[in-house]
Amino acid sequence: MAKDSTGRLHVTVKTGGKRKLSSKLWLERQLNDPYVAKAKREGYRSRSAYKLVEIDDKYRILKPGMSVVDLGAAPGGWSQIAAKRVGAADGQGKGKGKVIAVDVLEMPEIAGVSFAQLDFLAEDAPEKLRAMIGGRVDAVLSDMAANTTGHRKTDQLRILGLVEGAAAFASEVLNPGGTFLAKAFQSGADAELLAQLKRDFSSVRHVKPASSRQDSSERYVLATGFRGRPK
């Protein structure tokens, strides 16, 4: 077996039989991805967990006692990290945070996380979520990503629709000083969204954690210091 530039063994998968080239490449990438291996070792449900770890280690957005909404939470890596960092499973009392997670897919239980299976874009979703929150939250996180169609313009619009919806929801439920973190993609189509976030938050930046695949246009928008809803 060959070694890659970091000295790790590189696994190659054969094509042939029923396996198409695209599945061969996907499988090879999974088998050789250090974050996939790390997530397995450390008990996280997704390699995405490390994106939130990196962003939070740098910008300190999650603190004990906070309440957090996790949109597009399945299979649960971000919820696991958020629950740990806000102390959602720490029993009663001071420092006990709260995580409310939703996804259109099912998600196996995580201690300290309240989960609802729903489509965030459904008309009644924001109302259902507000009922689960029962007040305001300190952070709205969204790692939502729609399945791609292969048609670039359509995919960009769908992604933008999810981020815009998440941002609008964040501005309804965040406490003043709150944080909004959402998956976005480099498309240039999000100028209006960024302008709105800059009006609503004291700081807005794009972040690309090292664990976000460097060959993808994925990036995150991080808005901190929510100014509060206009009276």
Told to check if 46 binds ligand SAM by CB under 6 A, we report yes
Type of residue found at 79:
S
What is the DSSP code (8-state) at residue 3?
B
Please state whether 190 falls in left (phi above 0), alpha (psi between -120 and 50) or beta. Answer: alpha
What gap in Å lies between CA 88 and CA 65, rounded to an integer?
Answer: 8
CB of 60 to ligand SAM, least distance (A): 19
- Interacting residue with ligand SAM among 53, 61, 77, 204 (CB under 6 A): 77
Mutual orientation of helices 49-59 and 34-42 as an angle, nearest 10°?
90
CB of 27 to ligand SAM, least distance (A): 18
Told to check if 82 binds ligand SAM by CB under 6 A, we report no
User: Annotated catalytic residue: which of 58, 183, 198, 208?
Assistant: 183
CB of 71 to ligand SAM, least distance (A): 6
Told to check if 145 binds ligand SAM by CB under 6 A, we report yes
What gap in Å lies between CA 45 and CA 181, rounded to an integer?
Answer: 20
Mutual orientation of helices 152-173 and 191-200 as an angle, nearest 10°?
10
Told to check if 143 binds ligand SAM by CB under 6 A, we report yes
Asked whether the beta carbons of 81 and 49 are under 8 A apart, the reply is: yes
CB of 128 to ligand SAM, least distance (A): 12
- Interacting residue with ligand SAM among 115, 120, 201, 226 (CB under 6 A): 120
Task: Give the footprint of ligand SAM on this chain (CB under 6 A).
Answer: 45-46, 48-49, 72-78, 102-105, 119-121, 143-146
